[in-house]
Structure 1
Amino acid sequence: MQSPRCCILLLLLYLFLISGTWATMEGTFTLRILHTSTFQNSSFVDSEGLGLLEDIELGSLDKHNMSIHLYQPWVHPNLPLGDWERFEALIKNNLQLFRYMFNAVAKQRDVPYPFVAQGVAGCELYSNRTSRFFASVAYNGQECLSFDTDNATWTLSQDNVVCRYIQTVFRNYHFFDIAEIVFNYICVDDLEIVLRSGGRAALERQEVPVATVFARTPSPHQLLLVCHVTAFYPRPISVAWLRDGQEVPPGSALNTSTVLPNADLTYQLRSILAVAPRDGHSYACRVRHRSLGTRSLLIPWGNSQVLLLTGLVAALLAAVAVAATLLLWLWRHRKHQRMEESESRNSIQLYEI
């Protein structure tokens, strides 16, 4: 196993080799590398990793052979020669350091196995060619320490033997001080290339939300109106209930879920409003989303639904009336034709006699 100093030398090598060009970009973009390792014992560690550009999965770590699988065709081919290979080496050596630190603290401080360690590192890219590095480490599902970018130091989120040990290692080897510089270069150079070669188009795509309203009756005295909104992208969305055209304020009767992901990289949520059955009010669910522009989706319930149903019934009755009139005309037309044909045959018979 390579020592932390070896990993730092590789980071320095990457820093000097990395290169790229800059062109003005608009907006803020976030690159995140997520990592989870489950330590069963000192020799068996199960590791998983995921790379995200905003909410788009760039690739994942194969826990069986530690190779990186890319999901987006615009990530690798457009990078300068050798940049991806160096970045892949950086990730793998980070993983080695992670395992080294936690196995060392388990051995030196008698930390019991099994346990779970997690890490996140990344950067935000701004339009003025600046970027901000961020990183944190978690132990058994709780944040252990995080990087304070303002003071360029690691701060403890919980004070225990594991977190103090990891903090000491990071400070002694200045590991993430160097990683901060590396990630900033990645943001300014390689990330800008990835955005221009397809990342920006993927992030700026828009999918129109699909909304439906239905009701549930948990008791005879309560009616739950459910507005289900799905298939939208990007994530930000506004969903509100209107009572007689006025927005229902937040309260115990209104319950809106968090935005949840779908398998096709769209999102969904539900907004539930508790009302009294037959309370005489008109309700509608209003949806606002970037893909709709200045328009809104308005899905009615209550009196509006009754009016809609009445309109459908009236339209159906009108269609039946038209069909009946047409059938009556056809019947009279054919009756008249038969009478004319009968009279014609009678005239012919008289003439022959």
Structure 2
Amino acid sequence: TKVLRLLQTTLLTNVSSAQVFGVALLGDVPIITLDSANWTIHFLWPWAQQASSEGDMEKILSQYKIALRNLIRYMLEMAQEMQLDFPVVFQIRSGCELHPNGTSWGFIYIGKDGRDLIAFNVEKLRWEPRQTSLIAEVVSKSLTKQKGVTGLLEHLLSITCKSYILALYGYGTAVLERQEPPMAMVFTRMRSPTQLLLVCHVTGFYPRPISVAWLRDGQEVPPGLALNTTPILPNADLTYQLRSILSVTPHDGHSYACHVRHRSLGTHSLLIPWG
């Protein structure tokens, strides 16, 4: 599944001032950023700029500042109408998913101060509250009444977004479908005289999905209190890393090894023994 996400944060500092921050990501790869100072779009890859010069995207990018200005005006008016206390933060997450069978699903979620507020239902062409509050009810009804906007959103989410993903993959395949094999090492830390931590550090892999397991005497150690795996974290070079930590008793007579499987390794895997 290919996913395009546009993330926008708007900070309303008072009734006449707003700051906007934005980024677009294809999968986990940032492709576009929005300059908060002058609302200029910066393409992070040449192929992203090429894909953005085709079809609907060319028209959208020529008009986005007008749309952004209208959106901020609406936010400020709504903040005053609802008598919200400044500063107010609105977050927008929009985009679409393109599935292997060719179907797609578009989405727009709007949050306020870190909580979901409303979402756009593409099939029903209406905005729906995501929380039980007066502002969620008022904003969803207000936006649903703007039939011209809802029709445009349906087109953007159902047609334009899907076409844009295909164009981006057409130009950026080398980056988007690259594979980087993991590197792994095992080291130890003595927690106490009766507790030894075996640490398997795996880094430099791409794409993100990976399987890391500990083997005891050739058998996989099941999940439990003795096994702790960190979240998968990004590296600066657009690869990932993680650590899997197994707590054992020193000199317990067992053999241990870290087992790593990743798409880049094909049918092979890494097996790093300890000791």
TM-score, normalised to structure 2, is 0.92
Q: Residue 195 and residue 239 in structure 1: after superposition, are their counterparts in 2 closer, same or farther (change >3 A)?
A: same
Q: Is 1:88 the equivalent of 2:57? A: no
Partner-residue secondary structure (3-state), 1:87:
helix
Q: Is 1:104 the equivalent of 2:104? A: no
Q: Is 1:139 the equivalent of 2:143? A: no
How far apart, in 1, do the equivalents of 2:260 and 2:100 lie? 31
Q: Is 1:36 the equivalent of 2:9? A: yes
Shift of 1:164: 2.2
Q: Is 1:156 the equivalent of 2:129? A: yes
User: Which position in structure 2 is the counterpart of 1:209?
Assistant: 182
How far apart, in 1, do the equivalents of 2:165 and 2:130 lie? 30
Letter in 2 for 1:239: V
Letter in 1 for 2:139: I
How far apart, in 1, do the equivalents of 2:137 and 2:20 lie? 23
How far apart, in 2, do the equivalents of 1:144 and 1:276 lie? 50
Shift of 1:178: 2.1
**Which stretch of the first structure deviates more once superposed, 164-173 or 84-93?**
84-93
Q: Is 1:183 the equivalent of 2:157? A: yes
In the alignment, structure 2 segments of 5+ residues that lack a partner are none
Letter in 2 for 1:46: Q
How far apart, in 1, do the equivalents of 2:145 and 2:102 lie? 30
Q: Residue 93 and residue 249 in structure 1: after superposition, are their counterparts in 2 closer, same or farther (change >3 A)?
A: farther
Superposed CA RMSD: 1.9
Letter in 2 for 1:273: L
User: Which position in structure 2 is the counterpart of 1:63?
Assistant: 36
How far apart, in 1, do the equivalents of 2:199 and 2:217 lie? 17
User: Which position in structure 1 is the counterpart of 2:166?
Assistant: 192
The aligned runs of 1:115-126 (5 Å cut-off) are 115-126=88-99
**Which stretch of the first structure deviates more once superposed, 203-212 or 90-99?**
90-99
How big is each residue's C-alpha offset from its partner over 1:224-273, in whole Å with a ceiling of 9 and x where there is no partner? 11111111000000000111110011111111111111111101111111
How big is each residue's C-alpha offset from its partner over 1:159-217, in whole Å with a ceiling of 9 and x where there is no partner? 2233223212221113344212123222343332221122x332210001011111112
How far apart, in 2, do the equivalents of 1:78 and 1:89 lie? 14
How far apart, in 2, do the equivalents of 1:119 and 1:147 lie? 11
How far apart, in 1, do the equivalents of 2:156 and 2:253 lie? 63
How big is each residue's C-alpha offset from its partner over 1:27-80, in whole Å with a ceiling of 9 and x where there is no partner? x32111110011111222111000111111111000000010001111223555
TM-score, normalised to structure 1, is 0.73
Q: Is 1:75 the equivalent of 2:40? A: no
How big is each residue's C-alpha offset from its partner over 1:124-183, in whole Å with a ceiling of 9 and x where there is no partner? 224554422111011101111223345443322212233223212221113344212123
User: Which position in structure 2 is the counterpart of 1:45?
Assistant: 18
Partner-residue secondary structure (3-state), 1:112:
coil
User: Which position in structure 2 is the counterpart of 1:240?
Assistant: 213
The structure with the greater share of residues assigned to strand is 2
How big is each residue's C-alpha offset from its partner over 1:61-112, in whole Å with a ceiling of 9 and x where there is no partner? 0000001000111122355567544222454344334322321122112100
Letter in 2 for 1:196: G
The aligned runs of 1:244-255 (5 Å cut-off) are 244-255=217-228
**Which has the greater radius of gyration?**
1
Does the 8 Å contact 1:105/1:165 carry over to 2?
no
The structure with the greater share of residues assigned to helix is 1
User: Which position in structure 2 is the counterpart of 1:315?
Assistant: none
How far apart, in 2, do the equivalents of 1:221 and 1:272 lie? 16
Q: Residue 276 and residue 149 in structure 1: after superposition, are their counterparts in 2 closer, same or farther (change >3 A)?
A: farther
Letter in 2 for 1:98: L
Partner-residue secondary structure (3-state), 1:95:
helix
User: Which position in structure 2 is the counterpart of 1:224?
Assistant: 197
How far apart, in 2, do the equivalents of 1:279 and 1:151 lie? 62
Give the paired residue count.
274
Does the 8 Å contact 1:213/1:226 carry over to 2?
yes
How big is each residue's C-alpha offset from its partner over 1:282-305, in whole Å with a ceiling of 9 and x where there is no partner? 11111000001111111111xxx2
Partner-residue secondary structure (3-state), 1:34:
strand
Q: Residue 78 and residue 148 in structure 1: after superposition, are their counterparts in 2 closer, same or farther (change >3 A)?
A: closer
How far apart, in 2, do the equivalents of 1:211 and 1:49 lie? 35
In the alignment, structure 1 segments of 5+ residues that lack a partner are 1-27, 306-353
Q: Residue 154 and residue 78 in structure 1: after superposition, are their counterparts in 2 closer, same or farther (change >3 A)?
A: closer
Does the 8 Å contact 2:12/2:86 carry over to 1?
yes
